[in-house]
Copies of this chain bind each other. A is one copy, B any other.
Amino acid sequence: MTFKLCVSSFLKERATVHDRIRHTGLLEKRMSAAAAAALIKPGMTVAMSGFTGAGYPKAVPQALASQMEEVHAKGESFKIKVLTGASTAPELDGVLAKVGGMELRLPYMSDPALRKRINDGELDYMDIHLSHVAQHTWFGFYGGINIAIVEVVGILEDGRLIPSSSVGNNKTWLDMADAVIIEVNSQQSAAMEGMHDIYYGTALPPHRMPIQLTEPEDRIGVPYLHVDTEKIIAVVETNAPDRLSAFAAPDEASNQIADHLLDFLDGEIAKGRMSDKLLPLQSGVGNIANAVLAGLSRGGYRGLKAYTEVIQDGMLELIKDGTLAFASATSFSLSEAGIEEFNRNVDFYRERIVFRTQEISNHPELIRRLGCIALNGMIEADIYGNVNSTHVVGSHVMNGIGGSGDFARNGFLSVFMSPSTAKGGKISGIVPMASHVDHTEHDTMILITEQGLADLRGLAPKQRARVIVEKCAHPDYKPMLEDYFARASRDSYGKHTPHLLGEALSWHQRFIDTGDMRP
């Protein structure tokens, strides 16, 4: 079913700042970011909007960081717990990390300053499946939420909120928080009004019902976020763009990975396992994902659908050229050029994109029903197909698991991709034993490096090892892996998943000691 847009307000005119707040009571709650930030106290749990650098609050966190610095200068502590949708930007994670203002942060993150703090052991970071965050908050597993800070495009007369460039966990934050601070960002395109689909059918067990979505384009909710306006303690006007996502041309390794994947998909179609419309695509972000998307367009695919988390510039191009007929996501992470393109052809895109809460975009029920093709990056895989998505040498977290587990476990296909080496060859993407496991052998079907593609479906551990080393390992590391596997197959305690525990992690230790996994 498609949804005929029939929204009433912001599209008709070029909205001015004041047009964006139409609820008279809330107009009176306008205040400066500093005044709003002053409502946040040490120890509070603060839930913020934001997903992959889009739709995060731009002003209050910065004002809060300044106030924290003043308190810290007096020798006192001022830290809060921060919950988000996923990664945000320097104006949120960056500033709060720099002033040491967070004691806990969850879930996915990507800010360099925040990452450094976490890996220096200075703040606690919880890495969580993105589909789990909202429900675990409801379940009470993280305690209550004192304040939610949510960026929106505008506020309607009756207090309903027009969601911004990401939805993330905003519905849950608004429902659960004791108090709410709204940032109304007049830089966010008013043309997004009506493109969101906020599902209000979730419940706590034992009261849950089937989610009646059967196609990526189905609408099962409403275009607005609801909030008890009595809970709103501040409205802050902002006028700043999302952090720009630069859209780099894919490198050679990424293009080779994309070519392997496209060959594989052609083969699956030839075997009758999928039609030439494939199945709904989930695509991570970054270089390889962009190369894969570009490859689908080059490869002549048309009329595909995406059921994914993020729409970046590359996906907008696919929609434009007909490769993608429809895309469902939870976040719109566009560069400045992407935003311009969207605004230029807004009527076209509005019919072909929907934004959902992340509990729906990442819901196991829906990913399994739709049969998504899950395309995600990895840090390393071991010879048995266990995948490390998060930790360099087992202890240093990069970004987090994000939604990769939601899609890999439940999709029709789970694909993990990485160049076969990193740091100029000093790190192998294929190792004897993964130094941290995010996706077990039970959840990984296809591994791809620029060297080739390993199809692990229907294979037992030792069969997997032979295929992974043969197809995916870099020539510098292949003899080392073959040697390890041969000796392990001979000398291992058990011969089902052969390992030599004394050296299974020695490559990682060598990298720590010498800066190179190679002897």
Contact = CB atoms under 8 A, between A and B. Distances in A.
A214 B205 contact: no
Contact of A497 (B368, B394, B441): B394
B505 A509 contact: no
Contact of A368 (B214, B364, B499): B364
Given A394-B433, A405-B440, 13 more contacts: A124-B461, A124-B463, A140-B273, A141-B457, A204-B371, A205-B279, A205-B371, A208-B371, A391-B494, A394-B494, A437-B440, A440-B440, A493-B512
Contact of A505 (B214, B412, B495, B501): B501
Contacts of A392: 493-494
Contacts of A208: 214, 368-371
Contacts of A461: 124
Nearest to A384: B436
B505 A504 contact: yes
A143 interface: yes
A418 interface: no
Given A214-B208, A394-B497, A437 B435 contact: no
A436 B501 contact: no
Contacts of A129: 409, 442-443
Interface stretch (A114-122, A221-229, A293-301): A114-122
Contacts of A458: 126, 141-143
A370 B409 CA distance: 19
Residue from A208, A462, A494, A502 having most chain B Cβ neighbours under 10 A = A494
Nearest to A119: B494
A464 to B, nearest CB: 9
Given A140-B273, A210-B211, A386-B437, A462 B494 contact: no
A460 B126 contact: yes
19 contacts: A120-B495, A121-B496, A142-B458, A143-B458, A205-B369, A208-B214, A210-B211, A210-B212, A391-B497, A394-B499, A394-B504, A395-B499, A396-B496, A405-B442, A409-B409, A436-B497, A439-B440, A440-B440, A501-B512
